[in-house]
Structure 1
Amino acid sequence: MDFNLTEEQQMLQDMLSRLVRDHYSFEKRMSHYASQEGYSTAFWQQLAEQGLTGVPIDEAYGGFGGGGVENMLLMKELGRGLCLEPVLASQIFAAGLLQQLGNKEQKEKILPLVASGELKLAAALTETNSHYSLQHVACRARQQGDTWFLSGQKSVVVGGASADLLLVSARTAGEQGDPEGISLFLVEPWAKGVTRNAYPCIDGPRACDLLLDEVMVGRGGVLGKPGQVFTTLQYQQERAAAAACAEALGSMEEAFTLTLDYLKTRQQFGQPIGKFQALQHRMADMRGELELATSMTLLAASLADHPPSDERSRKLAASRFIITRAARFIAEQAIQLHGGIGMTWEYALAHHAKRLVMLSHHLGDEDTHLQRFADLLKAS
């Protein structure tokens, strides 16, 4: 297998690296976190002007037409800079759902605005006590003529606080826990009956909880065939999870570099602490986990856009499990090797550690992916 980037992919990576390095210092990141929006509108505009918000969007709708590898390059550099902009939630996950499920009119109307950065999306799929399961949907949608009425709650909608359009899953048939009977709807966050309670997450990005009270959605607001979207939700969540692996990898690499630099400069007993053999062994363990995570991120990126299959899902679950474990290990070891300074709010490492821990729970935690891998292994 050829692991070399194409010339176009290398240019994309170099552009992203320079953009994050030159315009997203840690100090600026902290300022963006404290702002009303919770991210940098100026940096989002820079991403849009350079066509980077369109990387995951099909060329037919003004995007770059990137696949799993391009998404990996995008998210890895954003992860390295701890960027707060909702690229994963909007451009990859929610836009992926729209590209797969939307009809011609819906895609032509919405996707060009998403690609240009003018419109942000968010997928509202999780509910209280759903525990990462996309089929545990209690939110209901009832049909009256050509109009649907949605009622229920959605929890921790990452990117939902700044979204201009929400993709909401609701049950149109069956009972909670059934994979069949789940539909997906386009909901405007300012529509009558929608209450959006926004808050910052502990690791930086913003999310919201949704309360839906008889929210009206017309026929043009239904994505895909009513009651038959579960497999697409699962497929696109796996694509988003592969991109989240890349974000975690970028953050892990930066945490490793910060730790190595610290061991080279921190003096104790008249010499850098990096000369102590016990600490060298711990850095070697971190490096081993980082190399394994790099390999599995490449695997996830190469599989992300493959057609749905148990084999694809099984390998993606394995990748996510290994990267989740590596992320937690590197975060914990980096804190231990730094000592107290590693936990200070003013130091970037503490924020990388928090982000890595929270990414290990985003779109499924370690146990969830291990169980899915085991179930698919038995099925084969």
Structure 2
Amino acid sequence: MNFTFSDEQILIRDMAERFFRDNYGLDVRRKHQALPGGFCRETWARFADMGWLALGIPEDLGGIGGGTVDMAILMEAMGGGLAVEPFLATVVLGGTLIRDGARPDIQADLLPRLAAGELHLSFAYSEAQSRYDLNDVRTRAKADGSGFVLDGAKTVALHAGTVDKIAVTARTSGGERDDGGITIFLVDADAPGLTVTDYPTVDGLRAGDVALDGVRVDAEAVLGAVDGGLPLAEAAIDRAAALVSAEAAGLMAALTRDTVAFLKERKQFGRPLGDFQALQHRATEMYMDTELTRSLAYMAAVRQDGDDRPAARRAASQAKAKAGQAGRLIGQEAVQLHGGMGVTDEMPVGHYFKRLTLIDHSFGDRAHHLDRLADMA
């Protein structure tokens, strides 16, 4: 398969890398984290001005009409820049669900607002007992007249404390772990009966636990089909898994770059550390695992836009499993090769490693995806 970028994709890559190199560093990241919601709305508006929020939206709905590969290019640059803005929650998860599951009139209303940076979204699919199983849903939605009433609780919904709408999986029929009977609802974040407990995550981003107590929604809030929401959720999560694998590749590349630079500068026994062959071998392993992760991430991105859903699921799991394994190895090597300084808050190394650790535990960790690959074999 040809992985050569088009001229437009090269432009996206160069623009994104230049933006984060010139405008985003560890000090800027800390300032953004301290702002309300844990990110900078001025930076978010610049994302919109550069067309990044419109990448996955069709042109007739105010978007650019790009594909998952275009978004992977951007996510890789965001990884290298340690961005804290809610691109994953709003554009990747929320935007995908609306694009693929909302009624045409809802799409026409919401997607242009998303592209303009005026709409923030979250996807609340995880529950305390569910781990990574999307079909394990206790939250209930009961039909009530022309709408539904939702009751239940969701955990670790990305940026849920600062969004306008939250997509929620709820069971409209069947048992707790049935594949059928799951419906996705797009709920206003300020709906009566909905509360969010907002908190920071260990990687410097934010998430929230969502409680639903008699939350009423209209029938138009349904994304996809009633009782048939699981395939829609799975496709969105697979896409997210592919894209955070690309983000992980950006994080690994930054860790490898910074570690090699440190080995060239730091001297021991009168020689740069980089002169020692054993350390050269370790740096080479870091580079090789970064490239393997990048290749699998872009293969997964390509597959997400195809019609072969089993192939898309398989590619997403391959990329995510590799990202988990490589992220752990590269993060540990970077910390060790930097010595004691590698774990201090003053250096970016530890921040990269924390984000890689959270990526491994998002949308299924390495063990989960290896099990899924075995089941698909």
In 2, distance between residues paired with 1:47 and 1:204? 20
Gaps of 5+ in 2: none
In 1, distance between residues paired with 2:26 and 2:59? 33
In 2, distance between residues paired with 1:92 and 1:285? 31
Residue pair 1:164, 1:189 contacting (<8 A) in 2 also = yes
Q: Paired residue for 1:250?
A: 250
In 1, distance between residues paired with 2:160 and 2:190? 12
Q: Paired residue for 1:109?
A: 109
Amino acid at match of 2:272: P
Gaps of 5+ in 1: none
Q: Secondary structure at the match of 2:299?
A: helix
In 1, distance between residues paired with 2:316 and 2:211? 32
Shift in Å, 1:310: 2.1
Q: Paired residue for 1:53?
A: 53
Shift in Å, 1:161: 2.0
Q: Percent identity at matched positions?
A: 37
Q: Paired residue for 2:94?
A: 94
- In the TM superposition, 1:278-357 aligns within 5 A as 278-357=278-357
Whether 1:224 aligns to 2:219 is no
In 1, distance between residues paired with 2:253 and 2:287? 9
> In the comparison of the two structures, how many residue pairs are matched?
377
Amino acid at match of 1:266: R
In 1, distance between residues paired with 2:246 and 2:92? 13
Shift in Å, 1:312: 2.7
Whether 1:241 aligns to 2:234 is no
Residue pair 1:321, 1:366 contacting (<8 A) in 2 also = yes
Residue pair 2:238, 2:312 contacting (<8 A) in 1 also = no
Whether 1:360 aligns to 2:367 is no
Amino acid at match of 1:315: A
Deviations 1:261-307 (A, max 9, x none): 11011111111111112211111211221121122122112112112
Q: Paired residue for 1:194?
A: 194
In 1, distance between residues paired with 2:292 and 2:2? 18
Shift in Å, 1:35: 2.1
Q: Paired residue for 2:141?
A: 141
Shift in Å, 1:308: 4.1
Q: Paired residue for 1:158?
A: 158
Amino acid at match of 1:262: F
Q: Rate the CA distance shift 1:30–1:49 in 2: closer, same or farther, 3 A.
A: same
In 2, distance between residues paired with 1:233 and 1:103? 16
Which structure 1 residue ranges, 4+ long, deviate > 4 Å from structure 2?
none
Residue pair 2:195, 2:212 contacting (<8 A) in 1 also = yes
Q: Secondary structure at the match of 1:364?
A: coil
In 2, distance between residues paired with 1:141 and 1:77? 39
Residue pair 2:249, 2:291 contacting (<8 A) in 1 also = no
- RMSD over aligned CA atoms reads 1.1
Range that drifts further, 313-322 or 221-230: 313-322
Shift in Å, 1:41: 1.1
Residue pair 1:13, 1:73 contacting (<8 A) in 2 also = yes
Shift in Å, 1:159: 2.1
Residue pair 1:54, 1:117 contacting (<8 A) in 2 also = no
In 2, distance between residues paired with 1:42 and 1:210? 27
Residue pair 2:300, 2:312 contacting (<8 A) in 1 also = no
Q: Paired residue for 2:15?
A: 15
Shift in Å, 1:34: 2.1
In 1, distance between residues paired with 2:336 and 2:90? 35
In 2, distance between residues paired with 1:47 and 1:64? 13
